[in-house]
A and B are shown apart, each in its own frame.
Chain A
Amino acid sequence: MGDLLAGLTEAFRMIVTLDAELIEITLRSLRVTLTALAISCLVGLPLGGWLAVRRFRLRRAVIATMNALIGLPPVVVGLVVYLFLSRSGPLGVLGLLFTPTAMIIAQIIIITPLVASIAYQAMRDLWSDYHDLLISMNATRGQRIVTLLIDARRALLTAALAGFGRAIGEVGAIMIVGGNIDGATRVLTTAIALETGRGDFALALGLGIILIALALIVSWGSHWAMRTERQGTW
């Protein structure tokens, strides 16, 4: 109980004093996660739409694989990305290991299947409603996907938020590929892990509270922007 209270006090202190290090870490967390999320959505949302409207032989296998990849262990993803980016790895020449870019790459791999899968499920249901109409109106395949992306936008927001949640709270992979370097690749989650290891529970908890607050703010903000639950049920 005392640790929790100390954590709250610490969080409050850091926010009120606009702790420089805290701001830097928080901004880096946001930058890495939002960049990864944007790229994941760019890939995952159209992929989900494409899977919803397209019938091909390996479709079920592709969907099953995509769903399985949701459970991909982040630590393993981190390890594989590490091996690819390390000096002796195939992409070693790029010198990306222990940079925020490496962390972004790892997060993209971790959250894209999640984003694509939720997007696919939402658009598959919508497609069963729209199928006859869009075929009747002679919509091209691209137009069908765009229509689903637009009309399922609120469900796609859920997909994006799920991706955001997974990425912002992720620690295993970015610890491995980022290295938790102070001032370069330290983010909220890796800082929490570090402070916990050091025994500074108040600081760790303070950072944790800020992390949770961040997730809430992003979720509220996007729901407010999309005006969900305000115009009908969709």
Chain B
Amino acid sequence: MVAALPLTLTGATLRRQGKTLIGPVDLTLGRIGVTVVIGPNGSGKTSLLRMMHGLQRTADGRVGWSVADAIARERQAYVFQRPIALRRSVLANLMFPLRLRGASRAQAEAQARAIADRFDLSAMLAQPAPSLSGGEMQRLALARALITEPEILFADEPCAALDGQATRQIEALLAGTAAAGTRLVMATHDMGQARRLASDVIFLLHGRIHETGPAETFFAAPATPEAKAFLNGDIVE
């Protein structure tokens, strides 16, 4: 199987109603690692992720995968900041992506039960998904995204609005996913989380990549004054 990664963005730009939201962005994402996208509110973290995933069409430039776009689409998954529950049981939610790809009911159910086990969801398989708590729902969203074994997972603030225990659980699952070889691209506003998970960092400001580099260097010695100020907890405009 030819890998869909690396992903290369060349001059990728996102506009809405004449306003430039993102870009131009030039960026290459390699096959392994955890890229954490940070930046002040409104800097375009979500838009950047959505653009890479193809949920938002670029106005200029290119989001180029190493395989045809149609194949690349099958190899990625996305976890939204506000998890979207299908109005079905937890089990049916987990089976859904597989059923879309034409898996048989029995096969999808077997896989769903296996992943539910890993994500601590087995006890609630029969429950309607919209009745889950925030942390449970985010675990379900993550499991549902990973059940197709994507090559790359985009996660937009997956721990926003979760309590400490749920955050710890989600972080452990994300780290495990990355360790198992899934490329992770994650937006977060939680610097502690960024430090815990990142292998490299993209610091966004006004829709552009202001600074990027390996996590260790970035956190130890940010090159730009804005990044330094942001890490200090100052307000960056």
Contacts and interface: CB of A to CB of B under 8 A. Distances in A.
Interface of A: 126, 129-130, 132-133, 135-139, 143, 147, 150-151, 231-232, 234
Contacts of B55: 132, 135-136
Contacts of A130: 84, 86
Given A133-B84, A231-B128, A234-B130, 16 more contacts: A126-B87, A130-B84, A130-B86, A132-B78, A132-B80, A132-B84, A133-B86, A135-B55, A136-B77, A138-B100, A147-B86, A151-B87, A151-B88, A232-B128, A232-B131, A234-B87
Interface in B103-152: 128, 130-131
A126 to B, nearest CB: 8
A130 B87 CA distance: 10
Interface of B: 53, 55, 73-74, 77-78, 80, 84, 86-88, 96-97, 100, 128, 130-131
Given A151-B86, A151-B87, A137 B128 contact: no
B187 to A, nearest CB: 15
25 contacts: A126-B87, A129-B84, A130-B84, A130-B86, A132-B55, A132-B78, A132-B84, A133-B86, A136-B53, A136-B55, A136-B78, A136-B80, A137-B96, A137-B100, A138-B73, A138-B100, A143-B100, A147-B86, A151-B86, A151-B88, A231-B128, A232-B128, A232-B131, A234-B87, A234-B128
A137 B130 contact: no
A132 B78 CA distance: 9
Q: Is the interface of A mostly helix, strand, loop or mixed?
A: helix
Given A143-B100, A151-B88, A133 B128 contact: no
A55 to B, nearest CB: 13
A157 B198 CA distance: 49
Nearest to A143: B100
Contacts of A147: 86
Contacts of B96: 137
Which of A137, A147, A234 has the most C-beta atoms of chain B within 10 angstroms of its own C-beta? A137
A133 B80 contact: yes
Contacts of B88: 150-151
Ranked nearest first, the 3 interchain pairs of A and B with the lowest CB-CB distance are: A133-B84, A136-B78, A151-B87
A133 B78 CA distance: 8
Contacts of A135: 55
A133 B50 CA distance: 12
Which of A132, A143, A234 has the most C-beta atoms of chain B within 10 angstroms of its own C-beta? A132
Contacts of B53: 136
A58 B87 CA distance: 30
Contacts of A137: 77, 96-97, 100
A23 B96 CA distance: 46
A22 to B, nearest CB: 42
A48 to B, nearest CB: 17
Nearest to B53: A136
Nearest to B80: A132
A144 B55 CA distance: 16
Nearest to B99: A143
Nearest to A126: B87
A143 B84 CA distance: 17
Nearest to A153: B87
A234 B97 CA distance: 22
A132 B128 CA distance: 20
A78 B87 CA distance: 41
A163 to B, nearest CB: 23
A91 B78 CA distance: 55
